[in-house]
Amino acid sequence: MDEGDEHSIKKVFGEQVRRFRKAKGHSQEDLADMCGLDRTYIGSVERGERNVSLVNIYKIAIALGVSPKELVN
């Protein structure tokens, strides 16, 4: 588990979030509001810049109407 692995874990997670969000037809701001998180935070998650914590994984999953499993792969 090196730096590159960590990068791709975050990237894949972000891509999943973006994919599900777009499938639902929401903007980042819509999703952020549903999660109770900041718009710019959601943006940075989708870009793979954040090492999102367990609780926020659930918040995002719930807002997207999916299981947390589907986000972590």
Q: What residues make contact with its own copies under the rule CB under 8 A?
A: 1, 5-6, 9-10, 13, 36, 51-55, 57-59, 62, 68-69, 72-73
Cα separation, 18 vs 1, in Å, equals 25
Q: Which does 37 bind (CB under 5 to 8 A by kind): its own copies, DNA, none?
A: DNA
**From candidates 9, 43, 58, 68, binder to DNA by CB under 7 A:** 43
Q: Tell me how far CA of residue 1 lies from CA of 8, 9, 18, in angstroms.
A: 11, 10, 25
Residue type, 45: V
Does residue 8 belong to the site contacting DNA (CB under 7 A)? Answer: no
Chain center to CA of 20:
9
User: Footprint of DNA on this chain (CB under 7 A)?
Assistant: 22, 27-29, 36-41, 43-44, 46-47, 50-53, 55-56
